[in-house]
């Protein structure tokens, strides 16, 4: 149980275009989803936290107009990188957690974004 999927697993796009990444909880309802970014040989950095039906909360330094997050249902959150640039190339990972006291997060397999 507690499986999280991401789509696509990798994507290459041209500078200036937008890319949407999906994160789905397959066998549980995710009240909260998180989006992380990981640069090569670096650890994960939280970008934003999204709760179903409400606006995402962005971490300091993350541009909310550039990284659009939508958490429209209890099983789906999307991250759209708008007007992508080469410096946005990174590994994007989502996680999801259920309601309850354990606060355990379940992670997706990640999406490799390359902007040329």
Nearest residue (CB) to another protein, 8 versus 16: 8
Interface with another protein, residue 21, by CB under 8 A: no
Interface with another protein, residue 28, by CB under 8 A: no
DSSP 51-101: ETTS--EEPTT--TTTEEEEEEETTEEEEEE-S--GGG-EEEEEEEE-SSS
- CA–chain centroid gap for 72, Å, is 14
Tell me which of 21, 71, 106, 115 binds another protein, using CB under 8 A: 106
> Which residues form the interface with another protein (CB under 8 A)?
6, 32, 34, 42-46, 49, 91, 93, 95, 97, 102-110, 112
């Amino acid at each position: 149980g507690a499986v999280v999927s991401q789509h696509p697993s990798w994507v290459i796009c041209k500078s200036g275009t937008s890319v949407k990444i999906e994160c789905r909880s397959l066998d549980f309802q995710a009240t909260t989803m998180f989006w992380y970014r990981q640069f090569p040989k670096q650890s994960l950095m939280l970008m934003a936290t999204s709760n179903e039906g409400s606006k995402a909360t962005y971490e300091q330094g993350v541009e909310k107009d550039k990284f659009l997050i939508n958490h429209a249902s209890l099983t789906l959150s999307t991250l759209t990188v708008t007007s992508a640039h080469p410096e946005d190339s990174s590994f994007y990972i989502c996680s999801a957690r259920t309601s309850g006291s354990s606060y355990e997060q379940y992670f997706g397999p990640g999406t490799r974004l390359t902007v040329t």
